[in-house]
Amino acid sequence: MFELSQYPLNYNKNSLEPYISEHTMTFHYEKHLEAYIANLNKLIKDTEFEGKSLESIIIKSSHSKDTASIFNNSAQVFNHNFFFKCLNKNSEKTLPSKLYSNFRSMDDFKSQFRIIANTMFGSGWVWLVAEAQEYKIVKTTNADTPLAHNQTPLLCLDLWEHAYYLDYQNRRAEYIDNFLDHLINWEFVESCI
């Protein structure tokens, strides 16, 4: 059984204001993440997936269309927990030194991330990942996750409408800019490299 308490927030739900409201954080964490966890528990009960780690469920369920629901819910639990760890309004704002092998500067990183994020069509995620000693920005659609593609996630942005619509409505580009300029927990990113 997975539980929300296994995935605690490291900050108060109002601490990302004004960029992400307490209202959004409450719905996103307590309703959306909780629902993915509850669905996952129901889906894996009495199956070969019960009792396995979240990461192994994601990898194993990614191989077959028959386990698409288990993949979607387990990946969304992972993606959300990872996303919430990537946020922190008061973090240092310097690009980790290793990333300079693939990005010229913080502005170069933001510019590349912004282009990928703004061209996302529909629901999904934008990631900074490590793959074969390269750092790159990729997007995944719906629940898909870098874990299923042999990539190591370092940073992500949730671009499902529920992540921003209460605060930004159709102004998704403003949400993306505020994430890049004010909300990235670079200390967490560095700890993943």
If the CB atoms of residues 158 and 167 are measured against Mn ion, the closer one turns out to be 158
**Position among 158, 167, 175, 189 found at the interface with Mn ion (CB under 5 A):** 158
- C-alpha span between 68 and 72 (Å, rounded): 6
**CB-based closest residue to Mn ion:** 158
Residue 163 binding Mn ion, by CB under 5 A: yes
Taking the CA atoms of 125, 108, 171 and 169 in sequence, report the sign of the dihedral they define: positive
Q: Which amino acid is at 23?
A: H
User: Quick check: 160 binds Mn ion (CB under 5 A)?
Assistant: yes
- DSSP 8-state symbol, 47: S
Contact 86, 10 (CB under 8 A): no
Residue 73 tokens read as 């819910």
Contacts 24+ apart (CB under 8 A), 46-49: none
Count of chain residues binding Mn ion (CB under 5 A): 3
Pick the piece of the chain touching Mn ion (CB under 5 A) from 41-49, 54-62, 151-159, 167-175.
151-159
Nearer residue to Mn ion within complex by CB, 80 or 96: 80
Regarding 167 and contact with Mn ion (CB under 5 A), the answer is: no
- Shortest reach from residue 163's CB to Mn ion, in Å: 5
Binding region for Mn ion (CB under 5 A): 158, 160, 163
